[in-house]
Amino acid sequence: MRILVTGGCGFIGSNFVRYLLKTYPDYSVINVDKLTYAGNLENLSDIAETPRYSFMRGDIADASPMEALTGKGIDAIVNFAAESHVDRSIEDPSTFIKTNVYGTFVLLEAVRKAFSKQQIRFIQISTDEVYGSLGETGAFTEETPLAPNSPYAASKTSADLLVRAYHHTYGLPVLITRCSNNYGPYQFPEKLIPLMISNAMDDKKLPIYGDGMNVRDWIYVEDHCRAIDRVMHDGRPGEIYNIGGRSEKPNLTVAKAILDHLGKPHSMIQFVTDRLGHDRRYAIDFSKIERELGWAPYVCFEEGIRLTVEWYLAHQEWWRKIRTGEYLDYYKRMYGNR
């Protein structure tokens, strides 16, 4: 198979590219990434020379190159390309609309135009945040009404509805996955777990929103990659598949677990003013993907957080470059300001 991965230099995308090449020796992967602040070529430096892998710097909102790529015998597109940080979406929603909504539209149009000549499976990587917030009990199912509460979540919801419409209107073989919070190697340090790890390593305070009791379901990134693999190969076109880690944890518990692994005191936690519109709890019912595709998470939170802390300890050069902006300076030298 020939797979086009968009946003493959980001956290989940780079892990998925590496997973595909390791799991399927006869597959080839084309990675398209705009290389914005969270897209890092170093995430895939170890496979850059692999003959079955190629990289192209590009924007999914740019129709011409996307249409050209879909005409090159692509069997599937896995769309990771997205602006994904809630706080940034609150500060400036415009880039989220352009990439997450219009960019998805451009990809769908490229698939539609190629549809008469080739069948391209389109997998839209979405988020559980499209469902909004839960109370103290219950879990999101694929039938839960969509109720996004941040500009980021609204942009992903809009993209999901476009994907659904292109299946029902044009018959495109599309699938949507909605996953809970990922963690693991190569995650950009602004997200909760890598931020907590890097701050603790530098003896800085660990900022926790509100009372720290906002609950998220956590999934180790390689488990997520396995789930996307199952959906890409065997998922039913037009369907949505929730993906979860069966690891609901309050943010405060996550921070304490990280400090414990690093041998640091809990007094390093600092409570800060809560985020605007902060959803209180997410939980995922992923029984559909278990039942239909035989997938379940392998890595429990305790093991996953240990692996993640060890990775950040062993790869300090990687995240310190990001914190100082060195990698952005490198891209400007290589590519200019495009």
Per annotation, catalytic residue among 33, 59, 83, 128: 128
DSSP string, 255-300: HHHHHHHHT--GGGEEEEPPPTT---B--B--HHHHHHH-------
Per annotation, catalytic residue among 152, 183, 282, 312: 152
CB 44 within 8 A of CB 17: yes
DSSP string, 115-136: TTT---EEEEEEEGGGG----S
Residue 8 to residue 128: CA distance in whole angstroms:
20
Q: Give the type of residue at 330.
A: Y
pLDDT, tens only, 297-328? 999 999 999 999 999 999 999 989 887 765 55
Q: Let me know if 87 is a catalytic residue.
A: no
Q: How do beta strands 2-6 and 181-183 pair?
A: unpaired
Q: Let me know if 46 is a catalytic residue.
A: no
Q: Roughly what angle, to the nearest 10 degrees, separates helices 251-262 and 301-314?
A: 50
Residue 198 to residue 258: CA distance in whole angstroms:
10
- Residue 52 in this model has a pLDDT that exceeds 90: yes
Half-sphere exposure of 242 (CA within 13 A, CB side): 23
pLDDT-derived band at 329, boundaries 50, 70, 90: low
CB 271 within 8 A of CB 252: no
Half-sphere exposure of 293 (CA within 13 A, CB side): 24
The residues spanned by each domain of the chain are 2-185+220-248+280-302
Q: Let me know if 109 is a catalytic residue.
A: no
Q: How do beta strands 206-209 and 269-272 pair?
A: parallel
Residue 247 to residue 284: CA distance in whole angstroms:
10
Comparing 7-16, 113-122, 158-167, 252-261, the range with the smallest average pLDDT is: 113-122
Phi, psi of 9 (to 5 degrees): -100, 0
pLDDT, tens only, 162-214? 999 999 999 999 999 999 999 999 998 888 999 999 999 999 999 999 999 99
List b or e across 308-320, with b for residues whose CB sees 16 or more CB atoms inside 10 angstroms.
Answer: bbebbeeeeebbe
Comparing 51-55, 134-138, 194-198, 252-256, the range with the smallest average pLDDT is: 134-138
Overall fold of domain 2-185+220-248+280-302: Rossmann fold (3.40.50)
- End-to-end Cα spacing for the chain: 31
The helix (run of H) or strand (run of E) holding residue 220 is: strand 215-220
Per-residue pLDDT averaged across 213-233, rounded? 97
pLDDT, tens only, 104-121? 999 999 999 998 888 999
The pLDDT value recorded for residue 3 is 98
pLDDT, tens only, 115-140? 888 899 999 999 999 999 888 889 99
Per-residue pLDDT averaged across 252-256, rounded? 97
DSSP 191: S
Per annotation, catalytic residue among 129, 160, 217, 279: 129
